[in-house]
Amino acid sequence: MRRYFFRLSVLTILLNTNLCFAQTKIDCEVLLSKKIDIESPEKFRSDVKNLLFCGLDSVDAQIFLQSPMVGEYLISVTNKETRPTYRDLINSIAEYITTSGDLKDRFIEINRIQNKLADAGTWESDKASFKKIGLTDDEIYNLHEYLLKNADKKLTYGQLAAMYHHQNDSLEAAVQEDSLKQLKSLYSQFCNTDHLILLPGNLLAFDNYEAGIKCSEKMNKTAMIYFNGYAAVNCRKMEEYVLSRMEIIGFLRKNFVVINLYVDDKTELPKDMQRKSKMSDKMITTVGVNNAELETKKYGNDTQPYFVILDKKQNQISQTGYTENDINFLQFLIDGNMRWQMSK
Distance in angstroms (rounded) separating the CA atoms of residues 159 and 151: 12
Which among 132, 141, 143 has a CA at the least distance from the CA of 108? 132
pTM of the predicted model, to two decimals?
A: 0.55
118-168 tens-digit pLDDT: 999 999 999 988 888 887 887 788 888 888 988 887 888 877 776 765 555
Please answer whether residues 230 and 265 qualify as being in contact, where contact means their C-beta atoms are separated by less than 8 angstroms.
yes
Q: For 240-263, what is each residue's pLDDT tens digit?
A: 889 988 888 888 988 999 999 999
Question: Which residues have C-beta within 8 Å of that of residue 76, sequence separation ≥ 6?
Answer: none
Report pLDDT for 175: 46
pLDDT in tens, 7-46: 334 444 454 455 555 555 789 999 999 998 766 666 787 8
What is the total residue count of the chain? 344
pLDDT at 309: 97
- For the chain, domain boundaries: 1-167, 180-342
Q: Which CATH class is domain 180-342?
A: alpha beta
Point out which residues pair with 35 in neighbouring strands.
Answer: 85
Write out the DSSP string of 86-99.
HHHHHHHHHHHHHT
pLDDT value at residue 3: 36
